Amino acid sequence: MGFMDVLIAFPGILLALAVVAILGPGLYNVMIAVGISGIPRFARLVRGSTLSVREKEYIEAGRALGANDPRILIYHVVPNVIGPIIVFATLRVGVSILQAAGVSFLGLGAQPPLPDWGGMVSQGREYLRGSWWVGVFPGIAIMMTVFGFNLIGDGIRDALDSRVRIAGKGQDPK
């Protein structure tokens, strides 16, 4: 986790730029770079969730009944850790889109003739005075896509959170 803490110390876009600078420009290299910049956050989430679940009573009860570690991991830890990971992943998609667009805006993303929203915004900035729509519409597409993934993540979080479901029905969450 010490290495993950070092990676988290760098802003995600800066880490992605460094990886793309090492690997070279290209669509696949941007995907690798954005993936690498997101790994430390997922690792911390998984570790924190696992440490939290490890202290629950049902884990202790499973051990008392004689369950071995792989069984406890598969049947008790993973199902209780997967919810926050799914929610975080859907919220992280928006950040990944923004990072990829930022790297492409700087000219290190998908190379022409491949279309890319960041590249389209970069090319459109030259025409903002006369043909503003060339750069604005790809920017709006990025914004709407990120907003949509954030709404999906919020909806999944609400669906997986038992306190929201119970409180939403007007019942006491005890």
pLDDT value at 18 more than 60: yes
Contact 128, 113 (CB under 8 A): no
From 14-28, 37-51, 115-129, 151-165, the region with the lowest mean pLDDT: 151-165
Could you give the domains of the chain?
2-168 (1.10.3720.10)
What is residue 96's predicted lDDT score, i.e. its pLDDT? 93
pLDDT value at 164 more than 70: no
Residue type at 22? I
> Tens of pLDDT along 138-163?
999 999 999 999 999 888 888 887 66
Give the C-alpha separation, 172 to 165, whole Å. 11
When pLDDT is cut at 50, 70 and 90, the band that residue 76 belongs to is confident
> What is the average per-residue pLDDT within 134-140?
93
pTM to 2 decimals? 0.80
When pLDDT is cut at 50, 70 and 90, the band that residue 48 belongs to is very high
Give the C-alpha separation, 49 to 106, whole Å. 36
What is residue 6's predicted lDDT score, i.e. its pLDDT? 87
pLDDT value at 34 more than 60: yes
Average pLDDT over the chain reads: 87
Q: Is the dihedral of CA 19, 24, 27, 28 positive or negative?
A: negative
Give the C-alpha separation, 19 to 143, whole Å. 25
pLDDT value at 13 more than 70: yes
